[in-house]
Structure 1
Amino acid sequence: MDVVSDAISAVRIGRPSSNRLRVSGSWCTRLAPYDGAGFHVVLTGGCWLLPDGDDEPVTLGTGDVVLLPHGAGHVLADGPVDSAAAARAVPFEEARVASPRGTGGREAELLCGKYRLDRSRVHPLMAELPQVVHLPNRVGAHPELRSAVDLLARELDDRRPGSCLALPSLLDLLLIYMVRAWTTQTDPATGTWPTVLSDPVTTAALRALHSDPAAPWTNDRLAAEAGVSRATLARRFTSLVGRPPMAYLTWWRLTLAATRLRDTDAPLATVARETGYGSPYALSHAFSREFGVTPGRYREKVRTG
């Protein structure tokens, strides 16, 4: 595993949902805040996105993709809107059946959807994502994201056998490609984790820890894996990630244990072995210190809501 994959896997729950929005003429619709992540893919035409709060409006064109990783409420409209017009926006559930094609004006078609996320243990990479991640459709930019958008459009236009599985799988790929695109296009001066993932020493250490979190890691062994001295690893890792390598490993092991408890019925002994703890008691002690509850109570709580 790698950091981006693990960061997404730790928070993803359930299956994504999506709806097509076909509109024309003058239109304005509101999407309420959501305890997950929202996304839009502009299949044809264009529109404006106005986030709640002080964020600037975003102009979207054909092929553009936008991710709202923290579930911010926002308005979609055929053009610029002021706060008064935004307050009168039609709820999204009503807009989906309004303004059919052929009524004149600027037509647009979007794929709008949501990802369910568990925010109890968000990886700092996911926490750092801005309220709106806009990925414009530019020639040569993010080819894998463009391919996923093309595949989504085709799957929506021609519901062939297997589409019930293909569509949610493509939406999961879309999330990965959106987060990956953000890590590669963001100015390092404005984001910590793009800088982390561009540093070869820190990336090598993170890859090792995420590939085998249960291994008996030490600072010396991890430094050898990264090909640098222990002092160099400690300095660069701590400066970029915000905590020393072994502290990060402890945090990640407990986050991984919480994910296993949430998503599987594995016995505590198995979870302990998978996350590098020598016994269920050792895991339970560390888990209770970090979460304030025992692993058993945590599993019961997350499953009953």
Structure 2
Amino acid sequence: MDADVDGGVDGDVDVLAEVLGGVRARGALFRQLLMSPPWSLRFATGAPLTLSTMLRGAAWVLPAAGAPVRVRERDVVITRGPAPYTVADDPATRPRYLVTDADYCARADGTDAGDEVERRLRTCDMGPGGAALLLAGAVERRGEIGDRLLAALPGVLVVAAADVRLPALDLLAEEVTRDGPGQQAVLDRLLDLTLTSALRAWFGRAGADRPDWYAAGDDPVVGRALRLLHADPARPWTLAELAAGAGVSRAALGRRFTARVGEPPMRYLTGHRIALAADLLRDTDATVGAIARRVGYANAFALSVAFKRRHGVAPSAHRAGHEIPAAGPAAGVSRRGGS
């Protein structure tokens, strides 16, 4: 994608879409949990984000820190991990079952629930009658670009059913109990769509305490500069060139960008380039030199100096700390493990 300072930004890069791309469902854990009061579930999946909704009944979410949060039927709840949290019919109800990435139907002490829980496809029936029905899907973190989103979210956020239409949620509720070809891919994409719609509604609500990088997009000058940088991070940008693209002087862009984003344009660009490089090191087998050129550095040495300054380790050491799945077809900088 090319950024043309004179002719516009090809594709009009959406910063929120790019950030959301760093937190994407792939092999997400899904369960429906049917319960009769009194009920309480302790979630300890370690997932960075969990999206859930009460398809039937209401609940309380008790985060690791902070006050209990009331959740009504069909509200969408996004819980930021990896800290455990509890969902219950009442804040005073002690957890009876433990939800982990290995078992959604275990007793609170971690032992097998045995016959007291009826297990069906992606469903745990924990009590006769099933007055309450909770649907939950856990989303994985894909890289450092996603960290910018995670850092902007509270421990628990609730999008009220009255505030947003989520047709994908109805499809998700239907598909979670099916087992057709490609079922996991269908569920993953529906979870992505529901998460994106819910977050867009949450960020866009009146009086929202939005992160700087999101709110800055509303500024005609800063938003333009951000789109230029994200459209072509490898371009050898100068402050003068970026200011010309945004239609203001260098001094004006520097003041306005820093005030809205929290750091100067070139420092923001450096952080974005290093985050991109970290994700490419994690998700591809491209050489450090190839990654360096893709994100705007002349060679592997230049990237290594900047990377070590920010992370304290060289790119090769960062890569060694992440397990990379088996390689797929190469195309430029090849991706691994699918998308």
| 1:171 equivalent in structure 2 | 191
Identify which of 209, 219, 230 aligns with 2:229.
Answer: 209
Deviation of residue 118 (structure 1)?
5.8
Supply the distance in 1 between the matched residues of 2:304 and 2:214 (Cα, whole angstroms). Answer: 34
- Note the 1:259-278 alignment, pairs <5 A: 259-278=279-298
CA gap 1:223/1:142 in 2 versus in 1, 3 angstroms: farther
| 1:52 equivalent in structure 2 | 64
Q: Does 1:24 pair with 2:36?
A: yes
1:197 alignment partner AA: G
Supply the distance in 1 between the matched residues of 2:32 and 2:176 (Cα, whole angstroms). Answer: 9
Identify which of 138, 155, 162 aligns with 1:114.
Answer: 138
| Contact residue 54 and residue 134 of structure 2 kept, 8 A | yes
CA gap 1:70/1:199 in 2 versus in 1, 3 angstroms: farther
Aligned residue for 1:215, secondary structure, equals coil
Supply the distance in 2 between the matched residues of 1:189 and 1:110 (Cα, whole angstroms). Answer: 28
Deviation of residue 12 (structure 1)?
5.2
Identify which of 155, 179, 191 aligns with 2:175.
Answer: 155
Aligned residue for 2:255, secondary structure, equals helix
Deviation of residue 261 (structure 1)?
0.3
| Contact residue 188 and residue 195 of structure 1 kept, 8 A | no
| Contact residue 26 and residue 188 of structure 2 kept, 8 A | no
Supply the distance in 2 between the matched residues of 1:162 and 1:124 (Cα, whole angstroms). Answer: 31
Aligned residues: 294
Aligned residue for 2:106, secondary structure, equals helix
| Contact residue 202 and residue 208 of structure 2 kept, 8 A | no
Moved more, 252-261 or 178-187: 178-187
Identify which of 90, 103, 112 aligns with 2:128.
Answer: 103
| 1:248 equivalent in structure 2 | 268
Supply the distance in 2 between the matched residues of 1:71 and 1:185 (Cα, whole angstroms). Answer: 26
Moved more, 185-194 or 23-32: 185-194
- Note the 1:181-192 alignment, pairs <5 A: 181-185=201-205, 187-188=207-208, 191-192=211-212
Aligned residue for 2:235, secondary structure, equals coil
| 1:42 equivalent in structure 2 | 54
Moved more, 5-14 or 212-221: 5-14
Identify which of 269, 289, 305 aligns with 1:285.
Answer: 305
Question: Deviation string for 1:51-84 (max 9, x for gaps)?
Answer: 23222x2222232111112334222122x223xx
Deviation of residue 94 (structure 1)?
2.7
| 2:330 equivalent in structure 1 | none
| 1:142 equivalent in structure 2 | 164
CA gap 1:136/1:62 in 2 versus in 1, 3 angstroms: same
Q: Does 1:70 pair with 2:95?
A: no
1:49 alignment partner AA: V
| 2:14 equivalent in structure 1 | 2
Q: Does 1:223 pair with 2:237?
A: no
Structure 1 segments unaligned to the other structure (5+ residues) = none
CA gap 1:122/1:102 in 2 versus in 1, 3 angstroms: closer
Q: Does 1:237 pair with 2:221?
A: no
Which TM-score applies when normalising by structure 1? 0.84
Q: Which structure features the higher share of helix residues?
A: 1
| Contact residue 75 and residue 89 of structure 1 kept, 8 A | no
Which TM-score applies when normalising by structure 2? 0.77
Aligned residue for 2:21, secondary structure, equals helix
Structure 2 segments unaligned to the other structure (5+ residues) = 1-12, 100-104, 108-112, 119-123, 325-339
Supply the distance in 2 between the matched residues of 1:301 and 1:100 (Cα, whole angstroms). Answer: 39
1:131 alignment partner AA: G
What value does the CA root-mean-square deviation take over the aligned residues?
A: 2.8
Moved more, 294-303 or 240-249: 294-303
Supply the distance in 1 between the matched residues of 2:41 and 2:178 (Cα, whole angstroms). Answer: 27
